[in-house]
Chains A and B, each alone.
Chain A
Amino acid sequence: MIDKRVLNSDEAVRDIPDNAVLMLGGFGLCGIPENCISALLRKGIKGLTCISNNAGVDDFGIGLLLKTRQVRKMISSYVGENAEFERQLLSGELEVELIPQGTLAERVRAGGAGIPAFFTPAGVGTEVAEGKETRVFEGKTYLMENWLKADFAIVKAWKGDAAGNLVYKGTARNFNPMMATAGNMTIAEVEELVEVGELDPNEIHTPGIYVHRIFQGANYEKRIEQKTIIEN
């Protein structure tokens, strides 16, 4: 067993420099690495490129890093729900690259799987296709998309062990498993760091080989964006 444990979020992000390219797991605020985002705020590094499906909300998630102007560029599929984001985008302070969600997921997957490019039908005939190679397979046109990789991939899992094996919960899985594979350095924060041997090898979602640093996070807020309930 190779021990991947670090003490906390500050130790986990200690060597992330200015202008780094980061991947951050999560869909909306579900499954985001809350502790590492706080550590990046404390560290105060700037000029970050953040590859993340969304950009958080004004006062939570990546929105916190936007407020402190630590982000130079977002690569995302959907960036609504964030007024500060909108302001920075319209003023030209922030660069944004919008990518269809399935293409984003597959580009990250490809980056972690050693596949430099692939063809997808998403975006054919749209402005997403501008400047990209297309090819016809079985009579249908597809768009070539390149892999995405990151200097640091930061993911959040439910449970993990010292070997870096991860298990996710519910729809908090989302982009985390692919991002874990696509980082030159992958940091995992987990709600529960369990003893090695406690996780059933049959049920591990992310094998430890992809994870370089792991720690048990604290004080998870798990904020809900759209609380929707039924009455009895």
Chain B
Amino acid sequence: MLDKVGIAKRIAQEVRDGMYINLGIGIPTLVANYIPKNMNVVLQSENGLLGIGPFPLEKNIDPDLINAGKQTITMMLGSALFSSAESFAMIRSGKVDLTILGAMEVSEMGDIANWKVPGKMVKGMGGAMDLVASAKNIIVAMQHCSKEGASKLLRKCSLPITGLGCVKKIVSDLAVLDVLPSGGFKLLERAPGVSIEQIKNATEGKLIIDGNIPEMKLQ
């Protein structure tokens, strides 16, 4: 099984040289730490920055420079700043190559639910609906099951939807899976020490197992 860092490390392997990437809050933010140093990628922050750099040293903190999670950040050389309207213009028009975000549920048709749990406090969708509606490639970082053991990879989402048919790939604590355009979770890799049986038991939606499924390799 993978912990949060493991999930982030595995997702980092999906990053390619030259990509513009939007990272969601939580595990997706950790992905930045594991992108190979020889790769040139640009991280987009929905609040108006291309070129997110590392967190600052104490002495370099600038309250006018934060990421979407409201954390203090720095800028890389060659950064650009812009308004929220321009930020979502580049997101909607498909200029961002890869979006990595968390999910509470994903359906076998690639629907995602990650913004609202009815009956609990609703904090809002932030930029999630805009991102999932437009991103060319969406990878979801998530736990395969809830704490109570219920599958979160479902035939149909039970929670309010954030976007329809948009998730392309899932990296969970148990597995890497593609969401096929025709429907279904195609198992690609198992997390270290996880059996196919475990993944079957943890996946309520249609699971497609084709041939030998290798164990994932992590640095």
Contact = CB atoms under 8 A, between A and B. Distances in A.
Interface residues of A, number: 57
B84 interface: yes
A183 interface: no
Contacts of B67: 171
Nearest to A106: B85
Interface string B6-36: 0000000000000000000000000000000
Contacts of A106: 85, 88-89
Nearest to B160: A127
B32 to A, nearest CB: 12
A123 B128 CA distance: 9
Contact of B72 (A79, A121, A176, A228): A228
A172 interface: yes
B83 interface: yes
A169 B83 CA distance: 11
Contact of A100 (B58, B81, B130): B130
Contacts of B61: 224, 227, 229
Contacts of A232: 57
Question: Which of B55, B58, B61, B64 neighbours the largest number of chain A CB atoms within 10 Å of its CB?
Answer: B64
Given A122-B134, A125-B163, A229 B127 contact: no
A178 B65 contact: no
Contacts of A45: none
Contacts of B127: 77, 100-102
B55 A229 contact: yes
Interface string B88-120: 110110000000000000000001000000000
27 contacts: A27-B84, A30-B47, A30-B66, A77-B125, A77-B126, A78-B123, A78-B124, A98-B124, A100-B125, A100-B130, A102-B91, A103-B129, A105-B83, A106-B88, A121-B133, A122-B129, A123-B133, A124-B163, A126-B129, A171-B47, A171-B49, A172-B64, A173-B83, A174-B48, A177-B83, A224-B72, A225-B66
Task: Identify the 5 closest CB pairs spanning chains A and B, nearest first.
Answer: A102-B88, A102-B130, A170-B64, A80-B123, A222-B63
Interface of B: 45-49, 54-58, 61-67, 69-73, 81-85, 87-89, 91-92, 111, 121-130, 133-134, 160-164
Given A101-B126, A125-B161, 20 more contacts: A27-B48, A27-B66, A29-B70, A30-B63, A31-B64, A80-B124, A90-B121, A100-B128, A100-B130, A106-B85, A109-B85, A124-B163, A170-B62, A171-B45, A171-B64, A173-B48, A175-B84, A224-B66, A225-B66, A231-B57
